[in-house]
């Protein structure tokens, strides 16, 4: 090789080395500062099958509920939207509670005041959703429940959904707010309004716990029951058409008080409900979650619950 050739080679090697050093410097200057490894969160042990915090029967306070702020101030810490996880153990159930609602502010305060401590004693993870019907059209409980469940399922992988009238207060925390994996559970078995007796065997109104996949299998509730009555019996028929049975916890603790109330404006008994109930078998697969249409006007993460204001249209 000629002198000239060595010179070029040395020049080349020198430039390459320089480029390497420059790259290293640039990398050092512009790369992200070294972050310390995040501390792993302590892994909590699973909560006990039977919560040690249960107290059994405890009479709910039915009248003059505190303000939302007072309820919040005395509550254990909740995440926005009314989400709770037990602080000291890993919950075995995660339950979304969905309430059909319109214009029952004082019932809601009575309910929240009672239900948060009740559920916390059960050591479950839960969140409360209020499906609030916007406007003055006839009330539609089934459709509101469909909306609430669908929206709740967007937020989390709940192991359990509980559809819950706002005026029913559980009297005994042994009545677990969790789901059976194969069948819906009728939780409000014994209600004071019905002298703590089941009015008829197929009843599935009030408070019902159902696993999300079963709710989907039943195509949710019918959207067609405008006004009072029928949607709960239709729901019961859907369960039986899907080959499910109703689970009922013992009446010794599946007990509720209903806040005494008059019939609401906009929720008169539906004169067509018996007719509709004759058509459940024909319609259930095309009327329900898969035909649900609504406008979600707002979703507000309140301190004690998630409020969904929804335009579900009218009859
Ligand atoms: N609901 C509302 N707002 C309404 C209507 C109904 O929030 O305007 C919700 C609420 O969650 C309620 C549920 O729908 O708990 C069921 O309605 P309801 O309480 O009227 O049903 P219930 O079976 O009706 O209690 C019985 C009629 C009461 C008349 C009693 C007269 N003695
Ligand atoms: Mn009621």
* Nearest CA, atom 32, ligand 1: 262
- How far away, in angstroms, is 290 Cα from ligand 1 center? 26
Q: Is 6 helix (H, G, I), strand (E, B) or coil?
A: helix
Measuring CA to CA, which residue among 173, 220, 141, 149 is closest to residue 53?
173
* Residue 82 pLDDT greater than 80, yes or no: yes
Considering every ligand atom, which ligand is closest to the CA of 104? 1
Measuring CA to CA, which residue among 187, 192, 223 is closest to residue 205?
187
Per DSSP bridges, beta strands 168-170 and 255-258 are: antiparallel
* Nearest CA, atom 28, ligand 1: 263
- The pLDDT-based confidence of 265 (bands split at 50, 70, 90) is very high
Q: Is 139 in the pocket of ligand 1 (CB under 6 A)?
A: yes
The angle formed by the CA atoms of residues 238, 244 and 248, to the nearest 5 degrees, is 105
Locate 84 and state its tokens: 């709770």
- How far away, in angstroms, is 262 Cα from ligand 1 center? 8
% of the chain beyond a pLDDT of 70: 88
Q: Is 236 helix (H, G, I), strand (E, B) or coil?
A: helix
User: What does the pLDDT look like over 101-153, one tens digit per residue?
Assistant: 999 999 999 999 999 999 999 999 999 999 999 999 999 999 999 999 999 99
- The pLDDT-based confidence of 246 (bands split at 50, 70, 90) is very high
pLDDT for the residue 1 = 47
- Number of the ligand 1 atom closest to the C-alpha atom of 168: 15
Locate 31 and state its tokens: 């790369």
Per DSSP bridges, beta strands 306-311 and 125-133 are: parallel
- Number of the ligand 1 atom closest to the C-alpha atom of 258: 25
User: What does the pLDDT look like over 14-68, one tens digit per residue?
Assistant: 576 666 666 665 566 566 566 667 667 679 999 999 999 999 999 999 989 999 9
Q: What distance in Å separates the CA atoms of residue 239 and residue 149, rounded to the nearest whole number?
A: 17
Q: What distance in Å separates the CA atoms of residue 52 and residue 132, rounded to the nearest whole number?
A: 35
- The pLDDT-based confidence of 11 (bands split at 50, 70, 90) is confident
User: What does the pLDDT look like over 276-290, one tens digit per residue?
Assistant: 999 999 999 999 999
User: What does the pLDDT look like over 89-103, one tens digit per residue?
Assistant: 999 999 999 999 999
* Residue 4 pLDDT greater than 60, yes or no: no
pLDDT for the residue 234 = 98
Measuring CA to CA, which residue among 198, 305, 312 is closest to residue 250?
198
Q: Is 231 in the pocket of ligand 1 (CB under 6 A)?
A: no
* Residue 13 pLDDT greater than 70, yes or no: no
| Contact yes or no for 149/294 (Cβ under 8 A) | no
- Number of the ligand 1 atom closest to the C-alpha atom of 229: 23
Instruction: Tell me the β-bridge partners of 169.
Output: 257
Record the pTM. Answer: 0.88
| Contact yes or no for 224/313 (Cβ under 8 A) | no
pLDDT for the residue 138 = 98
Q: What distance in Å separates the CA atoms of residue 169 and residue 72, rounded to the nearest whole number?
A: 18
Considering every ligand atom, which ligand is closest to the CA of 111? 1
DSSP state of 196: T
Angstrom CA distances, 100 to 132, 162, 165, 258, 309, stand at 7, 11, 6, 15, 11
Give the contacts of 150 (CB within 8 A, at least 6 positions apart).
220, 289, 292
Q: Is 104 in the pocket of ligand 1 (CB under 6 A)?
A: yes
């Amino acid at each position: 090789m000629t002198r000239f050739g060595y010179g070029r080679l040395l020049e080349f090697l020198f430039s390459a080395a320089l480029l390497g050093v420059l790259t290293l410097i640039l990398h050092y200057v512009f790369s992200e500062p070294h972050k310390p490894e995040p501390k792993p969160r302590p892994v909590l042990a699973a909560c006990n099958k039977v919560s040690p915090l249960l107290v059994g029967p405890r009479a709910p306070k039915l009248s003059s509920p505190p303000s939302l702020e007072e309820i919040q101030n005395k509550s254990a810490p909740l995440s926005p939207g009314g989400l709770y996880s037990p602080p000291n153990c890993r919950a075995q159930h995660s339950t979304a509670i969905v309430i059909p609602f319109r214009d029952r502010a004082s019932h809601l305060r009575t309910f929240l005041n009672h239900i948060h401590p009740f559920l916390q004693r059960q050591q479950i993870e839960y969140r409360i959703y209020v499906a609030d019907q916007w406007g003055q059209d006839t009330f539609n409980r089934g459709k509101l429940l469909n909306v609430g469940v669908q929206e709740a399922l967007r937020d989390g992988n709940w192991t359990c959904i509980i559809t819950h009238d706002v005026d029913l207060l559980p009297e005994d925390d042994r009545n677990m707010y969790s789901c059976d994996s194969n069948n819906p559970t009728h939780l409000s078995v014994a209600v004071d309004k019905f002298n703590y007796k089941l009015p008829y065997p197929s009843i599935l109104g009030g408070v019902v716990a159902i696993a999300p996949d079963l709710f989907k299998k039943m195509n949710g509730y019918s959207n067609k029951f405008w006004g009072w009555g029928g949607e709960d019996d239709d729901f019961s028929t859907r369960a039986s058409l899907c080959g499910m049975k109703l689970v009922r916890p013992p009446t010794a603790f599946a007990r509720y008080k209903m806040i005494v109330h008059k019939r609401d404006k906009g929720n008169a008994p539906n004169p067509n409900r018996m007719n509709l109930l004759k058509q459940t078998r024909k319609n259930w697969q095309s009327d329900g979650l898969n035909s649900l249409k609504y406008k979600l006007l707002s979703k507000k993460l309140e301190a004690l619950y998630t409020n969904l204001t929804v335009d579900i249209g009218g009859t």
